[in-house]
Chain A
């Protein structure tokens, strides 16, 4: 055993002991101090949010209010406005958007959308939507091919929020992209939120080489009751991929056109589907004949 009773070893041991004891002490103090500090920070946040709400409620009454510049209050105002905007629709939302634009929040949102920090770009997208009262969605469409997938998703959600159905082909294209794909389910939800009235805008998706995109289009068409998607869906039922077949059958059942029973029947006769999909096809077939299978 090496001799540990040298001065060097002893002082090393002393330092180790002191260091770890100090670490423990610092951590205990940090836990307690941060707990107390958070009470204060939460209370201050709550106060600013209350103030911001009052300002914005007055804006909604079309009163003439000015936003303060460059302060914690302005940030609180932006945050509260972005949140409130998602909970409102109609004239309230338009009033809020017009005021935010007039107060310079929209310009700031566009600057944020060009930030090098992903989170700032995503926040910018949300702020931009809160300020949007027209159809100028270009900056959002650009973010659909952002290098960070979370920003792409945030941009897609923002497009869904503002409910502009001209964005649908862009969302479909983003979902099909190889280099910077938008998650298919995010695309689906965004399309549902924009609520297109016709299946034409889904066009590209039916011929997609990625089956999950076709399945997504099928599901969305059924969810939104797009009756002009019937023919495309009947083609999709004959698709090789079970997920596409499943989504198409479900959507055809929702559209409820009795003509769709024939392609479903033909697909069932090929006997090449997994049991679960087979079941849901039977369900769709029965539904089109107004029979309800036991769930």
Chain B
């Protein structure tokens, strides 16, 4: 055997092992998620009962809505919060240096007037200067904060956090629409268990669904393949990924698009890291670190039922920037907290979740490319038969299709939000086609994000062009 061939054999065996480990871990995550969701669903009627019951004394929630040029969706989003079933709610909208009519629309629609709002948490720093604060004459809990932008969502959230006066803080996006009982459901773990410090819910794309007065009234899968593929991605990420990691108490990410934190813990961590690109995951990991180091008993939970609808990109240009930024952010995050990786002191997060994300999420695309290159070399030199490569690719495609379908199955068995058969058929088709077109593109975006994080680039608010919700008359 020549040395080159020897190296090739080792690389191929390592890659095979890599895929094997990945599938074993992911398979167990899927099983964990299914058990978790199924168990939660069985308690569904009990939970509903608990919700209505918890009404008068449920802990107050401050909702932070950072908005940067969100005039298309902000009114619907605030409307959905004003209509939310929650007894004690404070809504803080941050207009982060928008150049469109975001602030003016809010002022006109909700009857806002300029009023002083005191800073209650000065332990958290704010970079962009506050321009003015407003309160609504009609809705006592509604506050608007206008500030100069420094180009980062995290600074907008921190500025609002300084004003929060309720024990729980919820972060959503400027275009998000909450289901009416979403806040009750996501706050319930804090009621049931005093050791819960953070809870995240499910985010699903609102593209395609009908929104009326801040409420999704007809859930429908979007029309284009790109948007449908994203629906599948969100289902995989939330119903399988997060549910599975949460079942193992190793949840690393709570989506910044819908997460609730205990204010005291968030203040102790110092709010969001203003320099981070993945500020939501950064907050969760920082919280884990703080509490683990203090040896405090705590839980970070994922609740599969409450839903936050959010508009996702509908063009390739926007989604490529978004994915590049996500991957860049993940790289930055794992770099920042690298001392936690592989340390038993940080529990499942340090031993399982973070290594998994490092090896399979962050470096996954590179390893996939290496595998592909190795296969081509192998075939070219006649070291492996072409059919072996074809079988390998086919099996890996089929398994990734199966994962998407498993997520879809969890959704249809446990929740059944998409009622139309045509939606299910369309989403299944998107699942089958995804590996052939979306996966290579995604791979490329992720590689670019990884390179950006290795080079230590700095990035700003992602540009997202919103179409606004389709309003029916």
Contact = CB atoms under 8 A, between A and B. Distances in A.
A126 B193 contact: no
B318 interface: no
Interface stretch (B102-110, B309-317, B333-341, B405-413): B405-413
Chain A interface main SS type: helix
Contacts of A30: 409
Contacts of A149: 192-193
A186 B192 contact: yes
A276 B163 CA distance: 11
Contacts of B148: none
Interface string B43-56: 10110011011101
Interface residues of A, number: 50
Most chain B CB within 10 A, of A20, A154, A192, is at: A20
A106 interface: no
B116 interface: yes
B398 A1 contact: no
Nearest to A125: B46
Contact of B59 (A27, A42, A185, A186): A185
Interface in A102-159: 119, 122-123, 126, 149-150, 153-154, 157
Interface residues of B toward A: which range?
35 or more
A110 to B, nearest CB: 18
A31 B408 contact: yes
Contacts of B194: 183-185, 212
A193 interface: yes
B412 A35 contact: yes
A157 B191 contact: no
Interface stretch (B217-225, B247-255, B350-358, B378-386): B378-386
A30 B57 CA distance: 43
A19 B190 CA distance: 44
Contact of A119 (B46, B50, B190, B425): B46
Interface in A190-217: 192-193, 212
Interface string A1-45: 110110000000100110011011001101110111011001000
A157 B50 contact: yes
B428 interface: yes
Contacts of B8: 1
A256 interface: no
A249 interface: no
A61 interface: no
Interface in A233-259: none
A160 B398 CA distance: 52
A192 B194 CA distance: 19
Given A1-B12, A31-B428, A35-B421, A153 B384 contact: no
A193 B59 contact: no
A189 B192 CA distance: 11
B412 A13 contact: no
A24 B408 CA distance: 12
B416 A35 contact: yes
A23 B412 contact: no
Interface string B132-145: 00000000000000
B46 A122 contact: yes
Contacts of A23: 398-399, 402
A1 B13 CA distance: 9
A27 B45 CA distance: 28
Given A1-B8, A31-B409, A34-B412, A20 B402 contact: yes
Interface in A143-182: 149-150, 153-154, 157, 160-161
Contacts of A188: 57
B100 interface: no
Interface string B417-433: 00101001100100010
A161 B45 CA distance: 16
Given A31-B409, A150-B46, A184-B194, A192 B120 contact: no
B472 to A, nearest CB: 24
A223 interface: yes
Contact of B405 (A2, A27, A185): A27
A276 B165 contact: yes
Contacts of B45: 79, 123
A63 interface: no
A56 B326 CA distance: 55
Contacts of B193: 149, 183
Contacts of B15: none
B42 interface: yes
A275 interface: yes
Contacts of A157: 49-50, 53
A86 interface: yes
Given A21-B398, A31-B428, A185 B384 contact: no
Interface in B3-54: 5, 8-9, 12, 42-43, 45-46, 49-50, 52-54
17 contacts: A16-B391, A16-B395, A17-B395, A20-B394, A23-B399, A31-B408, A38-B412, A42-B416, A123-B46, A149-B192, A150-B192, A184-B194, A185-B59, A212-B194, A275-B120, A276-B121, A279-B120
10 pairs of A and B residues whose beta carbons are closest in the complex: A27-B405, A20-B398, A13-B391, A185-B191, A1-B383, A35-B424, A23-B402, A28-B428, A189-B57, A157-B53
